[in-house]
Copies of this chain bind each other. A is one copy, B any other.
Amino acid sequence: MKSWQEYKEEAWNRILRDREIGYLDPDIFDVLEVFFKKTKSFTQSSCSGRIVIVDAVTPWDRKNSSIIFKNHLGISGDDIKRALESSVVWNLWLIVQGPILHVYAMNEDEAWNLIKIARQAGFKHSGILSKNEKGVLIELKTGVRMVHLLKAPDYSPIQDPGKLAEVANKILKIGKIKLRKLKEAIEISSTTHNVNVEDVKEISK
């Protein structure tokens, strides 16, 4: 059976590999890093927040769906215009997702500690998802979300793609700002933790 430390190393190596092949979100590496720098946590799967346009019956569908557009940094009016020109099988949804992080904590105390920090940084929808051999799995999530019906086979509203893109980008950006805040808060908590450890060492001398 693998040790907790081995799981952590494995996860880190996968992130390095994903970054190399361009599979990692372009603006998440330094955020993941701060979790790995902490002694009792590591991240599993994460998303920095993104905009997708998907053709699907319902926006959360994974089967019966096809992705028309995906970008972690933003969308332009022209991107939306192009999507609107395509023919639609089910429904065309413009979805802005805020950042989501899945983090393994070594134990429950650390899990609650991370959840508390995350909630204060704006990740209000955070909680414990499960417990297994890798530790306590937590999900850190904001309420940032837009799920806009762009088009359907019998529904082609006359929209203003430029304005829609503007609002979608604004929503995306709020998520990115929260992600930066989370990174800073985790960093500060690590520093504080280290200082405390040093204090204890001093005292115990």
Contact = CB atoms under 8 A, between A and B. Distances in A.
B59 A145 contact: yes
A148 interface: yes
Contacts of A148: 147-149
A37 interface: no
A97 to B, nearest CB: 11
Copies of this chain held together in the complex: 2
- Size class of the contact patch on chain A: 20 to 34
A83 interface: no
A169 to B, nearest CB: 13
Nearest to A161: B157
Nearest to A124: B60
A146 interface: yes
Given A112-B130, A127-B128, 16 more contacts: A58-B144, A58-B171, A58-B174, A60-B145, A127-B127, A127-B129, A127-B139, A145-B145, A145-B147, A149-B167, A152-B163, A152-B167, A154-B163, A155-B167, A157-B160, A158-B158
